Amino acid sequence: METDKAQVVVIGGGATGTGILRDLALRGIPAILVEQGDLAHGTSSRFHGLLHSGARYAVKDKEAARECIEENMILRRIAPNCVELTGGLFVQLPEDDPQYADQWITACTEAGISCAEADVQELIKKNPVLSPNVTRAFKVPDCAVDGFRILWGNVNSARRYGARVLTYHRVSAIHQSNGRVTGVELINQLNGQKRSIECEMVINAAGPWGGEVAAMAGLEVNVIKDKGTLVAYNHRLMNMVVNRLRPPGDGDIFVPHGTITILGTTSTTVDDPGCTKPGHDEVLALIKIGQEMVPELESYRLIRAFAGVRPLYQAGNATGGRSVTRNFALLDHQQRDGLAGMVSIVGGKFTTFRLMAEKTVDLVASKLGVNAPCRTAREPLMTPVSEELLERGKKVFGVPGARKAAERLGDSFAQVVEQVEKNPDKGRILCECEVVSLAEIEHAAHSGDSFTLGDIRRKTRMGMGTCQGTFCSYRTLGALSGYPQFAGNHWEYLTKFLQKRWKGMRPVLWGQQLREAQLSTGIYCTLFAMERMR
């Protein structure tokens, strides 16, 4: 068994885990992050993509609301390429309680969240998809955020300071001696090999798997697994985030993302943290509720549904979803359970991941005798792309392609541009929907932690556009067939990728999307004869 050493092991490769890794690295604390799948394969990529202003929680959860608005402003500053400054709206309909609006305005003011009332008629002129029955509307500083970019920005920043990452490594045991954690044992999910890491501290940032990780150390952490289903439309219905001005409920937020719009979400308590299968009934329920704000919703094409599991936390035996706080809890297991060398961070929102990481590392650093202050609120995730470099990119990718690639790649954009300048064929576009070039695909494959087409998708957005991988997946696999990690059973690689895409398409198979699915079936089952390639 291979053995490694690090001062700290972080379990969980979502926004919180990668944020913790970055904070540790910036304070000079040697750390390894371990993740059972690829980074962002869990909750951090299965949400609205909403950077909350905190207005949604202002009435019920003032502390969470204050944290959201503060972190919203920080992320705008340190990660501008990951945040789209859409602005947000809260709209009230005739059936909504008018007294709630007044209560909400007061709560937003107390939390430091700006909310300016908008002229309803002017608003509907600019956003004609909205219901003409809107009675009041308010502008708030909500934004759209790209969860994938944030995570990879965290990791790349951490690596610059010496941090390490092990994806596809599942924790199988947490070792203890004399009341103290001494290390973890891992299983490589790709080849079954075992590995151990000796450490002084383990940080449990496993999100919905947090309870299972704690149980390996003989601890009990009550993580409420709350599944939320969302749907994605094939184009941008509006240019601002639109919330329903009422107590938080299902299907009350529309978020524009690039060329698409996401509507959600539901709230259902589940037992399995990996329960991410969206249901047909959930999709129909979302559409019905969404139509109250966007009456013509049924006429727009859905491209997929998806679901994520929120890791909510409440001390005791609470079991609800909407009723549970969206705040986070930092558990010191030495103080709480008598086990030194382990802490758990649970609950919270994507918007507050950086703050959660800061508080966690403050505690861990104090236990390790490290006095270095937190720098994550000041130091940018990546160096901004210069205008000169962007102009070079436009010459090889075109104007829209260069901007998209620069936003996705950040610090690595220069390397990809140089590759295409040396070999123009590498500028060939493999994914037309998201304008992803061969050079960008190859750059992702060279990263050292891309083992599946799904990994390439999460790094580049290949397969996430309107065609849902119908045309770009086989092109990408063909381009990568010479790479060692993609030199095996190509039928298996392609089938696994397409099945994941199918999982999201299946609940929305009607109208235009059904015709798209039939085209995809014809290409892969008839033209490529994949059913007979086993």
| Cα 350 to Cα 51: distance, rounded to the nearest angstrom | 8
Q: Across residues 392-407, what is the average pLDDT?
A: 90
Q: Across residues 113-133, what is the average pLDDT?
A: 95
Give strand pairing partners of 346.
329
Decide: 147 and 351 in contact? Cβ < 8 Å.
no
Q: Determine which of 26-30, 113-117, 215-219, 278-282 has the lowest per-residue pLDDT on average.
A: 278-282
SS3 content of the chain, % helix, strand, coil (to 5): 45, 20, 35
Using DSSP, state whether 11 is helix, strand or coil: strand
Q: What are phi and psi of 504, to 5 degrees?
A: -85, -25
Using DSSP, state whether 212 is helix, strand or coil: helix
Q: Across residues 326-354, what is the average pLDDT?
A: 94
Residue 519 neighbours by CB under 8 Å, 6+ apart: 470
Give strand pairing partners of 166.
34
Nearest Cα neighbor of 123 from 109, 134, 112 is 134
Quickly count: other Cβ atoms within 10 Å of residue 472's Cβ.
27
| Cα 434 to Cα 257: distance, rounded to the nearest angstrom | 12
Conformational region of residue 367, where left means phi above 0, alpha means psi within -120 to 50, and beta covers everything else: alpha
pLDDT band at 427 (very low <50, low <70, confident <90, very high): very high
- Torsion angle of the four alpha carbons 74, 78, 84, 89, in this order, in degrees rounded to the nearest 10: 0
Beta strands 268-269 and 223-233, pairing class:
antiparallel
Give the distance between the most distant pair of CA atoms in the chain. Answer: 69
Residues of the chain with CATH 3.30.9.10: 69-145+225-313
The secondary element (H helix, E strand) that includes residue 42 is none
**pLDDT tens column, 295-332:** 999 999 999 999 999 999 977 655 454 445 568 999 99
Residue 362 neighbours by CB under 8 Å, 6+ apart: 374
Q: Which two tokens stand for residue 109?
A: 């003011």
Decide: 234 and 357 in contact? Cβ < 8 Å.
no
| pLDDT of residue 478 exceeding 90 | yes
**pLDDT tens column, 209-221:** 999 999 999 999 9
Please tell me the total number of residues recorded for the chain in this structure: 534
Degrees (nearest 5) of the Cα angle 111, 116, 121? 150
| Cα 240 to Cα 477: distance, rounded to the nearest angstrom | 36
The whole-number pLDDT of residue 525 equals: 85
The CATH fold assigned to 2-43+148-222+316-368 is FAD/NAD(P)-binding domain (3.50.50)
The whole-number pLDDT of residue 322 equals: 44
Using DSSP, state whether 141 is helix, strand or coil: coil
| pLDDT of residue 488 exceeding 90 | no
| Cα 461 to Cα 405: distance, rounded to the nearest angstrom | 10
Q: Which two tokens stand for residue 275?
A: 């329960």
| DSSP state string for 261-317 | EEEE---EE-S-TT--PPPHHHHHHHHHHHTTTSTTGGGSPEEEEEEEEEEEE-SSS
Q: Across residues 14-33, what is the average pLDDT?
A: 98
* Arithmetic mean of pLDDT over the chain: 93
Tell me the pTM.
0.94
- Torsion angle of the four alpha carbons 54, 58, 60, 62, in this order, in degrees rounded to the nearest 10: 80
| Cα 158 to Cα 185: distance, rounded to the nearest angstrom | 23
Q: Across residues 464-478, what is the average pLDDT?
A: 93
pLDDT band at 534 (very low <50, low <70, confident <90, very high): low
Based on the number of CB atoms within 10 Å of its own CB, is 489 exposed (0-12), middle (13-18) or buried (19 or more)?
Answer: exposed
Using DSSP, state whether 388 is helix, strand or coil: helix
Residues of the chain with CATH 3.50.50.60: 2-43+148-222+316-368
| Cα 481 to Cα 475: distance, rounded to the nearest angstrom | 10
| Cα 478 to Cα 501: distance, rounded to the nearest angstrom | 18
End-to-end CA distance of the chain: 34
Q: What are phi and psi of 166, to 5 degrees?
A: -120, 100
| pLDDT of residue 356 exceeding 50 | yes
Give strand pairing partners of 268.
227
The CATH fold assigned to 69-145+225-313 is D-Amino Acid Oxidase; Chain A, domain 2 (3.30.9)
**pLDDT tens column, 409-424:** 888 999 999 999 999 9
The whole-number pLDDT of residue 423 equals: 95
Greater pLDDT, 462 or 259:
462
Nearest Cα neighbor of 17 from 5, 28, 37 is 37
Residue 281 neighbours by CB under 8 Å, 6+ apart: none
Residue with tokens 């556009």: 465
Decide: 51 and 143 in contact? Cβ < 8 Å.
yes
| Cα 249 to Cα 263: distance, rounded to the nearest angstrom | 12
Decide: 208 and 225 in contact? Cβ < 8 Å.
yes
Residue 442 neighbours by CB under 8 Å, 6+ apart: 419, 426, 479, 480
The whole-number pLDDT of residue 323 equals: 47
